[in-house]
Chain A
Amino acid sequence: MAQKKKVTARVVSQKQIGEQIFDLWLETKLAKNAHPGQFVAVYPHGESMLLPRPISICEADKAKNRLRLVYRVAGKGTAEFSTCKEGDQLELLGVLGNGFPVDKARGKRVFLMGGGIGIPPMLELAKAMDDKKQVLLGYRNKDLFLEEDLAKYGDVYVATEDGSVGTRGNVMDIIKSYSLRADVIMACGPMPMLRAIKNYAAENGIEAYISLEERMACGVGACLGCVCKTTKEDAHSHVHNARICTEGPVFEAGEVNL
């Protein structure tokens, strides 16, 4: 896995696809080694901003050496990225993290569950899985994104918090209203959603793999900034704190305390 590098990537294209949501294609050799659920850390140009911003990989076009990042503008760093145009350059550190265990879903009924800005990594994951999958997406309102891309690879169900499209509520409400069933769950989204999935998986005796996020500094496992609580002793520090950037971001739901 020693594929981590800091590289300069060229912006191929960027467009806004939702409220504060941007769709960025970058040309970089990092695409070759990208696995679904991994992330890159993108450096702002502004010298007052030091730390790279972790952003999940939405798609990796290995043939063309391109990575697609779909991200939400959350502060000054991501606001700067959103102004990038074709031909601009961005420094990236990647590819980082473990990614989703695609093999665990082989031959099984699977839910891919994404909530909000947790939806983007579901696309590369859906592409990597041959079996039929049920894609459950939660949005705030009718300002949907990536649902058409995902519909090419699975049966998409949408929930919106305001009920303007699909099921009113969140991804858990989709399961109830359509009486869906799965043997394995792969998910990324806000903490309340991940907690609900962890409980649902435990109650129904199914495997769930969830992608976590936390404030990061180094992105490579050195600073110990981005830890999460684990039920078993972690391999690095032996204190029930795993590094989200390195042992994660994807954990089996039973392994972590949320």
Chain B
Amino acid sequence: MELICPAGTPAALRSAIEAGADAVYCGFNDETNARNFPGLNFSRDELRKGIALAHGRGKRILVAINTFPRAASVALWRRAVDDAVAAGADALIVADIGLMDYVARQHPDQRLHVSVQAAAANPDAIAFYVETFGARRVVLPRVLRVSEIAEITRETTCETEVFVFGGLCVMAEGRCSLSSYATGKSPNMQGVCSPASHVAYEETAKGTTSRLGGFTINRFAPREAAGYPTLCKGRFSTALGDGYIFEDPVSLDATTLLKGLQAAGVAALKIEGRQRGRAYIESVVRHFRRALDTLEDGSEADIASLKPFTEGQSSTLGAYRKTWR
């Protein structure tokens, strides 16, 4: 299985390759990618150099152009496609159907991956992308069980890729407007979710309150660590009780499922976190490299804990385990 690692900067790209990535995914420093954070991502020149570095080591670069183009500005996204192809990208990760159509027509030889943002959650939807645009791989949404991943992979003529570590969307990706409801900024349109520009913390004697766009997302006791107010990981109140209604503030960690994913026929494993620093990239990539190497040679893994790198210092197998739903 191929190990796909995130990079938000050229330094992170180098770290990921040195730590054992088979491929690195990254995006341009504008709204064409779904991690459009200040100071993050690649200029055209940085991408060209990153690709040269990766190819020199026999590794691949996948370019994420995975937001939905704004009406009347489609040219900006098409230029991103053209520039990534010209720079020698090994694959483009695309979510918008109009942009996939453009890639298929203008760059028919370019390898196309269906982004998780395209929410292709079953073999029929995937077959549509394969037959219509020649998609070579689909990144599966984080809403499926391992048995379902196996079934999809069996029935699908293109490769499948799944997330194994990092931030966990509990809602179907690419189909969530919670962030734009509270802040006006959405993953699909601006490439951001629960943006820092709309976050506020209020400290009182009773503890810390975190808010997003004016809505209270969580409250922490004085000694409790105050986590980032990602909307769907907040504590809320209903007539049936208060608490983490959608999901606890946890990260995905599928280390223990690698064997099952391999048996399911998955082609590639993806680590989330283009917004994360080099320490995260180095540790997490090295961890999964070792886990994959031991899987290949059949030895027992002695794997360091990834706890420091998980949200709220705790992790979950997410929808991959049967009881999640």
A and B found bound together:
no
Measured CB to CB, the residues of B under 8 A from A are none
